[in-house]
Amino acid sequence: MLNKNLGLDDQLHQYVLSVSVKEPEVLAELRQETSNYTGFRMQITPEQGQFLAFLIKLIKAKKALEIGVFTGYSSLVTAIALPEDGKLIACDIDENYTQIARKYWEKAGVSEKINLHIAPALETLDQLLAQGEAETFDFAFIDADKRNYPNYYEKCLQLIRKGGLIAIDNVLWSGKVADPEINDKQTLAIRDFNSKIYQDDRVNLSLIPIADGLTLVIKK
Ligand code: SAM
Ligand code: CA
């Protein structure tokens, strides 16, 4: 019996994409523009974007949080998936790449739903908590500096409601987390984070081996 992942070679991966991914034109354009920049690999994949949109709709999220915007692919996915009166608080420190994000939010007609905070995300999250917004968010996506993952996770856990969902990206870190010989700072940070979250009884968890690994937790 097949009791582990099938493992996707390029041919099978292309097949999966060909029978499942329906990337809206505006997202395809943003992907194309981002491919001109050195950090283009930071962008989430189309199948991951579609999966996040699926989850957002499934839980009927209205209020969302994003940590790590870059050129805006995941935030655009989120904003499109939210209802008309939905809100996304988006956090990043980079003025330049987020200008591209703003351009595409405008183009897709969703900029009204998005509030971009240019500041270290921990400051923005603390500000939201200070404003009494604990337990008011339905969904959070964590995809910024890896060493702060435990801090982002703790703050997001306070900010989302019971039954709310947190998605954390890059938890497989190109497979390095499973290799005991690899112990650079970022690999160690993600490996520690994965162990910590596995032992966290405040949530139900699932690690999805999509793209670079996506952990999903539901707040109990
Ligand atoms: N989710 C994005 C997408 O789909 O294209 C990719 C995000 S990229 C992997 C990480 C982003 O985190 C970068 O744009 C970077 O500027 C931002 N970042 C790094 N440190 C940060 C911090 N302390 N606070 C907020 N954002 C930060
Ligand atoms: Ca990522």
| Of 96, 145, 147, best ligand 1 pocket probe by most atoms within 8 Å of the beta carbon | 145
Query: What's the pLDDT at 159?
Result: 98
Query: What's the pLDDT at 8?
Result: 85
* Nearest-angstrom CA–CA distance, 168 and 193: 10
Query: What's the pLDDT at 2?
Result: 53
| Sheet strand arrangement including 203-208 | 114-118, 87-92, 63-67, 137-142, 160-169, 214-219, 203-208
Ligand 1: centre distance to CA 113 (Å)? 19
Residue with CA nearest ligand 1 atom 25: 92
Structure tokens at 210: 């999509």
* Segment (H or E) for 215: strand 214-219
Pocket of ligand 1 (CB under 6 A): 42-44, 68-71, 73-74, 91-94, 97, 120-121, 143-145
> Could you report the per-residue pLDDT of 117-170, keeping only the tens digit for each?
999 999 999 999 999 999 999 999 999 999 999 999 999 999 999 999 999 999
Which residues lie at CB < 5 A from ion ligand 2?
143, 169-170
Q: What is the mean pLDDT of each run of 10 residues along the chain (220 residues)?
A: 72 95 97 94 96 98 98 98 98 97 98 98 98 98 96 98 98 96 96 98 97 97
